[in-house]
Amino acid sequence: MSSQVIPISHLNLEPETVKCPACQHVGKSIRVMETTSNGQATASCLIGILACLACNCGYMTAPTYYFLSHYCSRCGIRFVIVPWYDKPILHLERSLLVDAESAEKGDSGRKIMPSPLGSPPSFNEEALRNFGTRFISSSPSLTLEILLQGDRKFPSQATDVASLKKLYDITWPGLAAGDPIEYTPGEPMTVTPAKPDSKQIKSMASWDPSKSTPHIRVSTVDGVNREVATAQVFATSRDYILHTPTMNRGGIISYVSRRSGIKGQMSSKSGYMVWSSCAGPLAWIVRSVQDKEMQKPSRRIVLIDAYDRLVGMISSTDNEESVRLKIYGDFSSELVGEILASFSAVSYTIWNYSRLEGTDEGWGVAAGAMSVAGLGLTLAGI
C-alpha cells in the first residue's frame, strides 16, 4: 500500500490512497474480498445461468478463487472490481455522476451516481463488507420466469410468476437462435471520437431498427406489442447499445441510446460489464447473496447499482427451459424491459466470445453447450 494518491483505475489487489470522483474524499480505498472454495465454485457457478452456459473447469482446479472490489471509504461508491486471475475492471463512469441534492457546507462539489433505488444510503462499512447477508430481509417485488428457447437457450419471453401472466416478449430480429452476427463495418455505435476503439465502433447516428445489425427487442404484452427496450449486439465487441424508444406528441418514435461499459474503452469482460439504464448505471456480477426467500447465502448472478444495492437476481427453476429474475424495487415496465434486454445481450456476448476464444467471460462460465442445466442442478443440490 502507498500513501501516494493514484487514479482509481490503477487499483488492484491492495487498498490504495485515491480521490473519489464522486464525493472528492481522499483516503484509502475499502477492499472487499469474497473467496470461494473449489467445491463451492463447482457446485454453484452454474446456478445463475444454469440453462445458458457450461461450467468453467478452471475454477475446479484451483483450491480457492476470489472476487475483489474497491470502494470509497466515505460514500461507498464502487470504483473497480478485480476478477480472479484477471486485470481490474473500472466500474465508475464519471460522465454519469450528478450533483447531490443536498451538500454540507464546504462540500458543494459532492456528486452521486443515479440509481433506480434512489439516493445513496448512509455509508455503512459493515454492510458493504457483508454482501452475502446484507439483503437477508429483502423480498422481491416482482419475480419473472424467463423462458429459454432454441439450441442456445436464449431468453424469449418473461412471465409473472405470481399471476402466470406473460408480461414481455423477447425477440431477436435478424438473428436466428443465436447464430453468429455478421454486420456492416459502418454500423453505428456510441464512442468518444479519437479513442482507441473508434476504428472498430463507429459514432452513433440516428438509429433505425429496420436497418440495423441483428438486435434483441423487448416488448410488453399489452395488446399493442409496445417496444420498451432494444439491445444492439455486435460480432466483434463485448459492448452493446441499449436503445430506449420515446414518442413525441406527433407520434414520432425516436431512441435514447446508451452504450454499455466505460466511455472510450472497449470492455474486456462481458459478465462484469457496467451498463447504463434509464435510471442509472447497473452491473451484472456473480456474488454470494441471500434474500428473505433463501435459506442461506448462495452464489447468484445479481444486478447491483453503483453502491452495491440489490436491484435484481437470477436464480434457477426446476427445469432446463427457464430461469427466474427477481426484481427488488417498484420499477417501471421500461426499466424492467431494459433489464431483460441487458441480460439477453450479455448472455449472447458471453456465449459468442466463449465460442470464439474459449475465454471465461465473467460469470464463472465458459464455452460449451447451453443445455447443461441438469449438471448444475445436480451439483448445486437444488
Average pLDDT over residues 90-119: 83
How far is 367 from 361, CA to CA, in rounded Å?
9
- Which of helix, strand or coil describes residue 111? strand
pLDDT score at 358 = 66
CATH topology classification for 142-182+212-373: Porin (2.40.160)
Q: Does position 374 have pLDDT exceeding 80, yes or no?
A: no
Average pLDDT over residues 61-67: 53
Which run of H or E residues covers position 74? none
What size, in residues, is the chain? 382
How far is 205 from 183, CA to CA, in rounded Å?
16
Backbone angles phi, psi at 263, to 5 degrees: -55, 130
CA distances from 104 to 111, 121, 273 (A): 12, 16, 33
Give the DSSP letter string of 310-356: EEEEEEE-SSTTEEEEEE-S---HHHHHHHHHHHHHHHHHHHHHHHH
CA 316 to chain centre: 18
Q: Does position 95 have pLDDT exceeding 80, yes or no?
A: yes
How far is 266 from 106, CA to CA, in rounded Å?
37
Q: Which of 13-17, 46-50, 170-174, 193-197 has the highest mean pLDDT?
A: 13-17
How far is 284 from 266, CA to CA, in rounded Å?
17
Half-sphere exposure of 106 (CA within 13 A, CB side): 1
In this structure, are residues 178 and 348 in contact, taking their beta carbons and an 8 Å threshold?
yes
Average pLDDT over residues 60-68: 55
pLDDT score at 286 = 86
pTM to 2 decimal places: 0.83
Question: Poorest-confidence range of 40-54, 164-178, 193-207?
Answer: 40-54
Average pLDDT over residues 303-308: 97
Based on the number of CB atoms within 10 Å of its own CB, is 354 exposed (0-12), middle (13-18) or buried (19 or more)?
A: buried
How far is 276 from 143, CA to CA, in rounded Å?
22
pLDDT score at 215 = 82
How far is 298 from 294, CA to CA, in rounded Å?
8
For the chain, give the longest Cα–Cα distance: 62
Q: Does position 353 have pLDDT exceeding 70, yes or no?
A: yes
In this structure, are residues 280 and 115 in contact, taking their beta carbons and an 8 Å threshold?
yes
Cβ neighbour number for residue 165 with a 10 Å cutoff: 9
Average pLDDT over residues 107-135: 92
Half-sphere exposure of 204 (CA within 13 A, CB side): 16
pLDDT score at 192 = 36
Between 311 and 373, the higher pLDDT residue: 311
pLDDT score at 52 = 38
pLDDT score at 363 = 61
Label residue 123 by pLDDT band (50, 70, 90).
very high
Domain extent listing, the chain: 8-99+109-113, 142-182+212-373
Q: Does position 292 have pLDDT exceeding 90, yes or no?
A: yes
Backbone angles phi, psi at 287, to 5 degrees: -140, 160
Question: What cell was used for 24?
Answer: 472528492
Q: Does position 159 have pLDDT exceeding 70, yes or no?
A: yes
Q: Does position 211 have pLDDT exceeding 80, yes or no?
A: no
Based on the number of CB atoms within 10 Å of its own CB, is 166 exposed (0-12), middle (13-18) or buried (19 or more)?
A: middle
Q: Does position 26 have pLDDT exceeding 70, yes or no?
A: yes
How far is 245 from 17, CA to CA, in rounded Å?
42
pLDDT above 90 coverage of the chain, percent: 43
pLDDT score at 380 = 30
pLDDT tens for each residue of 236-282: 778 888 888 888 888 888 888 888 888 777 777 767 878 999 999 99
Between 268 and 71, the higher pLDDT residue: 71
Between 169 and 41, the higher pLDDT residue: 169
- Mean pLDDT of the residues in the chain: 77
Q: Does position 24 have pLDDT exceeding 90, yes or no?
A: yes
Neighbouring residues of 89: CB distance < 8 A, sequence distance ≥ 6: 80, 81, 82, 83, 268, 269, 272
pLDDT score at 341 = 95
Question: What cell was used for 41?
Answer: 465454485
pLDDT tens for each residue of 250-261: 888 888 888 888
Q: Where are the alpha helices (DSSP H) in 194-276?
A: none
pLDDT above 70 coverage of the chain, percent: 71
